[in-house]
């Protein structure tokens, strides 16, 4: 994908930069991002909406991966931003991201997070529950400050995805329930909130979605509901936000839809439903996370110890693992990889790739065909750009790896490698005053 290729030295090259050189410069493990790929993915969403003349906002879901430099790049890409915490909001503001293009998510935003967002005058709150709505009403009156909101609803659609990461079904901690009348009550109560401007509805049906049906079902449900509410109490749907969840390829068997296909299906479904229901066309907002950064990211590790259990398995250990990629352990997520320093060598062995953390569950890949590997070989694991660094931890007091952006033959250190001293910065010694 993107600008990744095998160069004349038989090395994996990304963004015109040899990964073996990157390892020499930055050490391992290291996360590498193909920035041209991130931009390319964002462009596909934006272009499809533009070609179809649909007013839209593409809001990058920060939780997939955030950093000052990424936010600065995205600010220029003319995308919006979905943040889910005071920390993501703070990072975006520090990066100089235009606050009017920031949307604030979360099922338990604190008062201080909301106040910060109000101070920065962000573009929109995606309201999740009555507790939040009442807080927004009170704070907006106190400040005499207008607030734009979307109401998040659970449309009862469950996309075909891993159970742990489904959020669109009825039994979910997120959003207002449609069927029991919660959502309607929320919308009607906004009529009495002088500083709250209701833009429309939000739903997110899940992650790593490979079909269009889930989105189509959610669209039909939401638009039908919107029509009913229009007739009942004059509700006007200006914005329909369909969340994120567009799937990517982790392993060769994954067959994700092209971004253009997903986007086109969404547009056509909205257009046909509004025609049928005689509604006016809302703006369509989406919140892709994984599909913008996921397959742009590669993690480079150095191979260390090996263990061969005759007739059972060969383990190959790398200098990272669940501390920098929790997804295999947490979701049973699958990845693939190659030896970056001997990229085209014939695969003659099957290895299971172990991390260095002290638990058996710290396995990154089971049964990966590779050339016969030696210590100091470099293993590149693909599609680690989403929810890799973002979910990294210091488990076992392992420092977090650096993040390097590559583009047009140049590399840029976006996040430095954590040091042992960094990990101690919050620790208090008993002997300290
Ligand atoms: N919008 C909302 C409201 C969401 O909850 C999410 C993801 C997204 C957008 C972005 O979804 P994406 O396009 O990245 O699939 N840690 C898990 C994924 C959890 C996603 C939670 N919400 C993983 O590593 O797979």
Q: What whole-number distance in Å separates Cα of residue 101 and Cα of residue 315?
A: 47
Q: Of the residues 358, 426, 430, 432, which is catalytic?
A: 358
Exposure of 346 in the CB half-sphere (CA atoms within 13 A): 1
For atom 21 of ligand 1, the residue with the nearest CA is 165
Looking up tokens 């299906």 gives 265
Q: Probe ligand 1: pick from 207, 211, 328, max atoms within 8 Å of CB? A: 207
| 168 pLDDT above the threshold of 80 | no
Beta carbons of 412 and 323 less than 8 angstroms apart: no
Residue 223 in domain: yes
Residue 228 in domain: yes
Q: In this structure, are 118 and 240 located in the same domain? A: yes
Residue 43 in domain: no
CATH number of the domain that residue 360 is part of:
2.40.37.10
Residue 411 in tokens: 């590399």
The mean of the pLDDT values for the chain is 96
Residue 361 in domain: yes
- Domain stops at, among 289, 315, 340: 289
Task: Tell me the per-residue pLDDT of 221-265, one tens digit each, with 9 for 90 and over.
Answer: 999 999 999 999 999 999 999 999 999 999 999 999 999 999 999
Beta carbons of 63 and 84 less than 8 angstroms apart: yes
Residue 271 in domain: yes
**Omega of the bond prior to 29 within 30 degrees of 0, cis?**
yes
C-alpha dihedral over 133, 134, 135, 139, to 10 degrees? Answer: 100
Mean pLDDT throughout 325-339? 98
Q: Is the dihedral of CA 59, 65, 68, 73 positive or negative?
A: negative
Q: In this structure, are 361 and 393 located in the same domain? A: yes
Ligand 1 centroid distance, CA of 253 (Å): 21
Residue 256 in domain: yes
Which pTM does this prediction carry? 0.96
Q: In this structure, are 400 and 368 located in the same domain? A: yes
Q: In this structure, are 226 and 322 located in the same domain? A: no
CATH number of the domain that residue 109 is part of:
3.20.20.10
Q: Name the residue range of residue 102's domain.
A: 52-289
Q: In this structure, are 212 and 257 located in the same domain? A: yes
Beta carbons of 292 and 64 less than 8 angstroms apart: yes
Residue 46 in domain: no
> What does DSSP assign to residue 82?
E
Phi-psi region of 408 (alpha: psi -120 to 50; beta: other; left: phi over 0): left
- Domain stops at, among 234, 259, 289: 289
Q: Please spell the DSSP secondary structure of 176-245, one letter per residue.
A: EESTTSHHHHHHHHHTT-TTEEEEEEE----SSB--SHHHHHHHHHHHHHHHHHHHHH-----EEE----
Q: What whole-number distance in Å separates Cα of residue 262 and Cα of residue 264?
A: 6
Give the ipTM: 0.99
Looking up tokens 């990211």 gives 297
Q: Probe ligand 1: pick from 59, 244, 364, 392, max atoms within 8 Å of CB? A: 244
Q: Is 290 annotated as a binding residue?
A: yes
Beta carbons of 162 and 254 less than 8 angstroms apart: no
Q: What whole-number distance in Å separates Cα of residue 277 and Cα of residue 401?
A: 52
Residue 137 in tokens: 């009403």
Task: Tell me the per-residue pLDDT of 343-373, one tens digit each, with 9 for 90 and over.
Answer: 999 999 999 999 999 999 999 999 999 999 9
- Domain stops at, among 258, 289, 320: 289
Active site residue 124: no
| 425 pLDDT above the threshold of 70 | yes
Task: Tell me the per-residue pLDDT of 109-143, one tens digit each, with 9 for 90 and over.
Answer: 999 999 999 999 999 999 999 999 999 999 999 99
Q: Which atom of ligand 1 is nearest to the CA of 246?
A: 13
Name the domain count of the chain: 2
Q: In this structure, are 318 and 283 located in the same domain? A: no
């Amino acid at each position: 994908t993107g600008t990744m290729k095998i160069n004349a030295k038989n090395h994996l090259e990304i963004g015109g930069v040899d990964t073996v050189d990157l390892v020499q410069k930055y050490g391992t493990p290291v996360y590498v991002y193909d920035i041209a790929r991130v931009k390319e993915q964002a462009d596909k969403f934006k272009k499809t909406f533009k070609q179809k003349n649909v007013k839209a906002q593409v809001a990058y879901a920060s939780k997939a991966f955030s950093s000052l430099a990424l936010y600065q790049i995205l600010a220029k890409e003319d995308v919006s931003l979905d943040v889910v915490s005071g920390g993501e909001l703070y990072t975006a503001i520090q990066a100089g991201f235009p606050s009017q293009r920031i949307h604030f998510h979360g099922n338990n935003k604190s008062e201080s997070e909301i106040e910060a967002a109000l101070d920065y005058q962000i573009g929109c709150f995606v309201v999740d529950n009555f507790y939040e709505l009442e807080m927004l009403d009170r704070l907006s009156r106190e400040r005499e400050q207008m607030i734009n909101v979307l109401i998040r609803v659970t449309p009862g659609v469950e996309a075909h995805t891993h159970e742990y990461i489904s959020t669109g079904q009825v039994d979910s901690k997120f959003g207002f329930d449609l069927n029991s009348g919660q959502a309607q009550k929320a919308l009607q109560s906004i009529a009495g909130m002088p500083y709250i401007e209701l833009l429309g509805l939000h739903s997110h049906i899940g992650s790593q979605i490979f079909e269009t049906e889930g989105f189509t079902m959610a669209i039909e449900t939401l638009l039908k509901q919107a029509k009913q509410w229009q007739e009942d109490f004059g509700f006007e749907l200006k914005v329909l936000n369909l969340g994120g969840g567009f799937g990517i390829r982790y392993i060769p068997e994954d067959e994700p839809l092209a971004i253009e296909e997903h986007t086109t299906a969404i547009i056509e479904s909205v257009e046909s439903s509004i025609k049928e229901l005689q509604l006016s066309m809302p703006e369509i907002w989406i919140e892709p996370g994984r599909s913008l950064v996921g397959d742009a990211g590669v993690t480079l590790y150095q191979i260390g110890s090996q263990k061969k259990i005759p007739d059972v398995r060969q383990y190959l250990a790398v200098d990272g693992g669940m501390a920098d990629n929790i997804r295999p352990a947490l979701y049973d997520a699958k990845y693939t990889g190659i030896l970056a320093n001997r990229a085209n060598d014939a695969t003659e062995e099957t290895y299971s790739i172990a991390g260095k953390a002290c638990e058996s569950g710290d396995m990154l890949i089971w049964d990966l065909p590779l050339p016969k590997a030696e210590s100091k070989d470099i293993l590149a694991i693909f599609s680690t750009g989403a929810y890799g660094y973002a979910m990294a931890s210091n488990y076992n007091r392992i420092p977090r790896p650096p993040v390097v952006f590559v583009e047009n033959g140049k590399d840029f250190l976006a996040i430095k490698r954590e040091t042992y001293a960094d990990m101690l910065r919050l620790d208090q010694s008993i002997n300290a005053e």
